[in-house]
Structure 1
Amino acid sequence: MEIYMAPMEGVTNYVFRKAYIKHFSGVDKFFTPFITPHMKKGFSRSERMELDKDYNKGQNLIVQILTNSAEDFLKLSDEIKEMGYSEFNINLGCPSGTVTSKGRGSGFLQDTKALDRFFYEIFEKSTGIKISVKTRIGFCDYDEWDALLRVYEKYDFNEIIIHPRLRSDFYKNNVYMQAFTQACKTLKVKIVYNGDINTQKGFKILNEELRKNGVDAVMIGRGLVRNPLLPEAIKTGVDMTDLKKTVEFLDDIKEEYSLLDFGERNTLFKLKELWGMVLSDEIYAKTLKKIRKADTINEYNKHIEELK
């Protein structure tokens, strides 16, 4: 089973990925959080770090782009291709209101005619690159999936990553496996499953369904952040967690932000967000509350010592 690390905005960024490959194994492909086309300005500092080949060495890294403009996609992919990248993933899954209100991310799924024109143009004009898509199964109605599949099957995607939820579901409600199975039967390209992979035991049950559909690749987001050992557990078939190792991993993230002169306040914000996912069990509620209240790194360090 191939395992992909999901691109989570502000979470699985360049610092997270660098520290991750130092401490853990099991991930076969990484994705940058989405990069949007820029008009007059150049790449931001964080975008440059996301794309820096030397900084991200050791990763099979794919660039994810968020746009609904073929012209902007072509221009941006040409710029990034010069940096040594040859595969681009198009974000059609982000449910954020600030994204969908502009007709991007999963908001683009509402207009299949425009989506079709977008793909036609980028496949006609792009050269020397592979194109993949990360998609939801519709915006607010399961019936939208049929029309979306008719668009997807026209084009030679490298792979299609499917999160079988509607945009209106966000990350709640059950995944709609019937739509995923339908895609596996309809599309001739490689299909990757994404959604609700949180434990090795849970994956074992899901994998029975994936095998029936000939699927041998999955993308994991929140489950991987919650337990960074999850990819290795899935590949070995042995359930494993190690809070001590996770603490060491987040200590490295803290130190990396310090080396990058990220600032104490910004570093604390990032660390608190990560710990909010890692310490999701009720038994850690008091410790998590202390971590979230920390105003300085020194105060934060004292609370982390309680976990060691």
Structure 2
Amino acid sequence: MNKNLLPIHFAPLQGYTDAAYRQAHACIFGGIDTYYSPFVRVEHGEIRRKDIRDINPENNRNIHLIPQLIAPQPIMLEQIVSLFIEHNYQEADINLGCPFPMLAKRHNGAGMLPYPEEIKELLTAATEKYPQIRFSVKLRLGWENANECLALLPLLNTLPLSHIILHPRLGKQQYKGEVDLNGFEAFYHGCDKPLLYNGDLHTIEDIQTVAERFPKLAGVVIGRGLLANPALAWEYQQNRKLSPDEMLSKVKQLHTAIYNSYEEQLQGGETQLLMKMKNFWEYLLPNGNRKAKKTIHKTSKLTNYRIAVNDLLSSYQ
């Protein structure tokens, strides 16, 4: 394997990349340096139970997991970091990039980017109170404009951060429109920390293009691209694509492993299991049989779901 290849990290997506998915992906596809957990957050004064289960080391064996948190205030951050320390984590990622309006309007994620003093208070509290934790930050170019991340550079360069992940879109874009590589480049040239690129990487060629344009990158972080093609990291490292038969075999294994894991864990019966498995197919095999994918999305019965999955996989080529 070419030693000059960039490390590939798996970005977190709420509802998709939970512990069951991470474990199965690492075993069947691999190629990932680090998996990031979907963000842990405080609701009504308490950390969500599902977040606590998701980062439990017992559910994340044999992978390198960095738990991610989202918090608008130091007191909430401290509550979450205490949980991470309880589970013996020595790394944590702070989310300043989530674009979802319901969270952003409360100054969570990318919604905090127009308020540099709030970010300074949050990050300073984290790094000063918990020197034993290697903190990283994931952010966007800004909420309203790309200058917001540039205004943060003096602070970010000063703090003892292990690395920074930048997604070159504005928060208000969510996932629409094109990534702004010029905006990324401006931040890249001013950033003194190891910098990782995140955003719209779907093919080996996409990764290579970013690596060539930004040769000092410390790695790339991929979310939706890996959900669509779980073999992408492996293919990049090996510089070859899986054959349709190889991909089909591995997708079947992945589906079986995750289905069995959810069936064992979930207590909500058929409906809850079905809802979880529908998410599994939202990004996967984007060029697969549309009729079968539509049936998977609409069905309310596991029997019909299994038939549609068989139809989808049998027609894959």
Query: What TM bracket, shorter-length normalisation?
Result: over 0.9
Equivalent residue number for residue 94 of structure 1: 98
Equivalent residue number for residue 191 of structure 1: 195
Displacement after TM superposition at 1:268 (Å):
1.4
Structure 2 unmatched runs, 5+: 1-5
Deviates more, 1:152-161 or 1:265-274: 265-274
Please state whether the residue corresponding to 2:221 is helix, strand or coil: strand
Distance between the aligned counterparts of 1:175 and 1:42, measured in 2?
A: 33
Deviates more, 1:33-42 or 1:11-20: 33-42
Please state whether the residue corresponding to 2:58 is helix, strand or coil: coil
Does structure 1 conserve the Cα–Cα contact (< 8 Å) formed by 2:266 and 2:273?
A: no
Displacement after TM superposition at 1:179 (Å):
2.2
Displacement after TM superposition at 1:247 (Å):
2.6
Does structure 2 conserve the Cα–Cα contact (< 8 Å) formed by 1:3 and 1:231?
A: yes
Equivalent residue number for residue 20 of structure 2: 15
Displacement after TM superposition at 1:129 (Å):
0.7
Equivalent residue number for residue 156 of structure 2: 152
Equivalent residue number for residue 146 of structure 2: 142
Does structure 2 conserve the Cα–Cα contact (< 8 Å) formed by 1:210 and 1:216?
A: no
Give the residue type in structure 2 aligned to 1:267.
L
Distance between the aligned counterparts of 1:225 and 1:151, measured in 2?
A: 34
Equivalent residue for 2:226, pick from 207, 224, 236: 224
Does structure 2 conserve the Cα–Cα contact (< 8 Å) formed by 1:68 and 1:103?
A: yes
Does structure 1 conserve the Cα–Cα contact (< 8 Å) formed by 2:113 and 2:149?
A: no
Pair 1:207-2:195 in alignment: no
Distance between the aligned counterparts of 2:47 and 2:221, measured in 1?
A: 30
Displacement after TM superposition at 1:302 (Å):
1.2
Aligned length, in residue pairs: 304
Pair 1:297-2:296 in alignment: no
Distance between the aligned counterparts of 1:113 and 1:41, measured in 2?
A: 25
Deviates more, 1:165-174 or 1:141-150: 141-150
Please state whether the residue corresponding to 2:135 is helix, strand or coil: strand
State how 1:48-63 maps to structure 2 within 5 Å.
48-63=52-67
- What TM-score comes out, normalization by structure 1 length? 0.93
Deviates more, 1:69-78 or 1:10-19: 69-78
- CA RMSD, 1 decimal: 1.7
Does structure 2 conserve the Cα–Cα contact (< 8 Å) formed by 1:201 and 1:239?
A: no
Distance between the aligned counterparts of 2:108 and 2:52, measured in 1?
A: 22
Equivalent residue for 2:86, pick from 82, 86, 90: 82
* CA distance 1:222–1:163, change in 2 (3 Å): same
Distance between the aligned counterparts of 1:107 and 1:231, measured in 2?
A: 30
Distance between the aligned counterparts of 2:140 and 2:39, measured in 1?
A: 16
State how 1:201-280 maps to structure 2 within 5 Å.
201-211=205-215, 214-240=216-242, 242-262=247-267, 263-280=269-286
* CA distance 1:146–1:42, change in 2 (3 Å): closer
Equivalent residue for 1:167, pick from 171, 180, 184: 171
Identity percentage of aligned residues = 27
Does structure 1 conserve the Cα–Cα contact (< 8 Å) formed by 2:41 and 2:48?
A: no
Distance between the aligned counterparts of 2:53 and 2:125, measured in 1?
A: 29
Structure 1 unmatched runs, 5+: none
Displacement after TM superposition at 1:98 (Å):
1.1
Distance between the aligned counterparts of 2:270 and 2:73, measured in 1?
A: 37
Equivalent residue number for residue 181 of structure 1: 185
Does structure 2 conserve the Cα–Cα contact (< 8 Å) formed by 1:19 and 1:253?
A: yes
Cα deviation code 1:166-214 (max 9, x no counterpart) = 0122112211112222222212111011000111122222221132xx1
